[in-house]
Amino acid sequence: MAEQRRHFSAADIPGFGLTAMAVFVALYLPIVTLVVYSFNASASVAEWGGLSLDWYRKAAGNAEVLNATANSLIIASLAALFSTTLATLAALGTTRRAPFRGMTAVYAAINQPLMVPEIVTAVALLVVTAALKQATGYTGLGYLVMAHTAFCIPFAYLPIRARLEGMDLSFETAAADLYASDWQVFRHVTLPLLLPGILAGAMLAFVTSLDDVVITEFIKSPGQDTLPTYMLGQLRRAMTPDVNAISSMLMGVTILMLFAFFLLTRKKA
């Protein structure tokens, strides 16, 4: 009888299960603790005083929290819209054409915010926005939208480009053979097939912008706190359980968006 070939499995390595459990505990125990203590009735973040929703009510009635929430939603929504539009154009320009010299450099330029430390991107954007503020006198949220848009482009670009590369070109070719113009091919064939990738890219860009701290801290003007920067300021002054409540709600929104991103990008059997 021929000897059966053994297949390698990481699960067969001694201690693999214990190591995996330790990794999951290290990753999720702090998060679970934060969520549990967001329902703490005690004003102390270290002592358990029973279950309560008071900190959620206080956070919902806090004018500063509401203002920071509004800023976060406005900035994240506009940044997701603009970055997804630019990422879609960039993905079309790098996939729906013949390979050309310098294509690798184009990929690197588009994905630059992913390849360098975020602090470097923040400093570069600060230099640009500071010059614009001095030249125009404008100090509104537009600079934060611009900065978040630039930072979120690669996050939207990757799922859109992946969707385009996985699409069958025969539909677009057939439409062109039937004398459809380039715009008609894009509108009636490419765009409907690409829509799940666009939505996934938009959600990923939205979550990235919503959670950003470093770039926002460098670019924002006084009174332009977002939820992450507001919580950072609270931690510097005094740690109170309402920060746990805000963090739990922000995490819940992020999880929902990432779950929707997973549903849109997973491949059907």
pLDDT at 143 over 60: yes
pLDDT at 269: 41
Confidence bin at 262 (pLDDT 50/70/90): confident
Cα–Cα distance measured from residue 132 to residue 129, given in angstroms and rounded to the nearest whole number: 5
Task: Note the residue count of the chain.
Answer: 269
pLDDT at 218: 92
**pTM of the model as a whole:** 0.80
The HSE-up count of residue 26 (CA atoms within 13 Å, CB side) is 6
Write the burial class of residue 211 (CB in 10 Å: 0-12 exposed, 13-18 middle, 19+ buried): middle
Cα–Cα distance measured from residue 174 to residue 177, given in angstroms and rounded to the nearest whole number: 5
The whole-number average pLDDT for the span 265-269 is: 57
Looking at the DSSP assignment, which residues form a beta bridge with residue 40?
A: 51
Phi, psi of 40 (to 5 degrees): -80, 130
Query: Could you report the per-residue pLDDT of 60-89, keeping only the tens digit for each?
Result: 888 888 898 899 999 999 999 999 999 999
Query: Could you report the per-residue pLDDT of 211-241, keeping only the tens digit for each?
Result: 899 999 999 988 888 988 888 887 777 667 7
End-to-end CA distance of the chain: 36
Phi, psi of 51 (to 5 degrees): -80, 140
- Containing 115, the helix (H) or strand (E) segment is helix 112-115
Phi, psi of 219 (to 5 degrees): -95, -30
CA angle 92, 175, 195 (to 5 degrees): 45
The yes or no reply on domain 62-265 and CATH 3.40.30.10 is no
Give SS3 for 40: strand
Percent of the chain with pLDDT strictly greater than 90: 26
Domain definitions of the chain by residue range:
14-52, 62-265
Cα–Cα distance measured from residue 209 to residue 73, given in angstroms and rounded to the nearest whole number: 9
Percent of the chain with pLDDT strictly greater than 70: 94
